Amino acid sequence: MSEKKLTVSKESTYSIRSNNSTFIAFLFPLVNESEFKEQLNVIKKLHAKASHFCFAYQCGEPLSTRANDDGEPSGSAGLPILGQLKSNQLIHVGCIVVRYYGGTKLGIPGLISAYKNACLGAIHANECTPYIEFIRIQVQGTYPSLMRLLSIATQQGWNATLNSFQEEHVIHVQIEQEQKQRVLNKISLFSDLTWS
């Protein structure tokens, strides 16, 4: 069995100083890469005088992972940030660490430590919760059976919506992955319903 994945539901920040440089980490929930780019642009505008905007994220379906050093020596910033996301089992999150250069070079070990610890501080400043994977099931069939299924869905607390297009009626059910078999068992009680 795989380890339980975690995520965050809000943004957190954490700041550290190392040899006169300031590192500010922003950790935030994330759905997709375009959402990450928007957040990166916002942070770049807020910290226009910063020297570097190093980052890592894990998001999307299927899961996409990326790390970026933004001009720092290769592997000294993005990968340590990504390493913290992975070692804390965080998915659907992004972390951007803004660096204000303080005039003293830190060397690669110093950079790795600063970026890693800034990210880790932002993780500890946040509340990590279990990541719940949702799936979507489309159910087709006769209107009376779909209405009965919609009633069951409401009683069970499922997120279900009925869409009607001329003579065709469809219910879209969004549920936690763990509920899939239970939902399919309910659907199978109706001989005139099909699902995909």
pLDDT at 141: 87
With 90 as the cut, is the pLDDT of residue 85 above it? yes
- The answer to whether 6 and 130 are in contact (CB under 8 A) is yes
Cα Rg, the chain, nearest whole Å: 23
Burial of residue 56, with CB atoms counted within 10 A of its CB: 0-12 exposed, 13-18 middle, 19 or more buried: buried
Residue, of 32 and 95, whose pLDDT is higher: 95
How far is residue 193 CA from its own chain's centroid? 34
With 90 as the cut, is the pLDDT of residue 167 above it? no
Is residue 150 classed as helix, strand or coil in its secondary structure? helix
- The answer to whether 79 and 70 are in contact (CB under 8 A) is no
Q: Which has the minimum average pLDDT: 48-52, 80-84, 92-96, 167-171? A: 167-171
pLDDT at 163: 85
pLDDT bracket for residue 2 (50, 70, 90) = low
152-154-155 Cα angle (round to 5): 65
- Region 16-36: mean pLDDT is 95
Phi, psi dihedral angles at 84 (to 5 degrees) = -70, -40
Residue, of 186 and 80, whose pLDDT is higher: 80
Q: Which has the minimum average pLDDT: 68-72, 164-168, 178-182? A: 164-168
Structural domains of the chain ordered from first start: 6-130 (3.30.230.30), 134-195 (3.30.70.120)
152 half-sphere exposure, CB direction, 13 A CA radius: 17
pLDDT in tens, 123-166: 999 999 998 888 888 898 888 888 898 888 888 888 888 887 77
Query: What does pTM read for this prediction?
Result: 0.76
- The answer to whether 139 and 146 are in contact (CB under 8 A) is yes
CA distance 101 to 147: 62
pLDDT at 1: 40
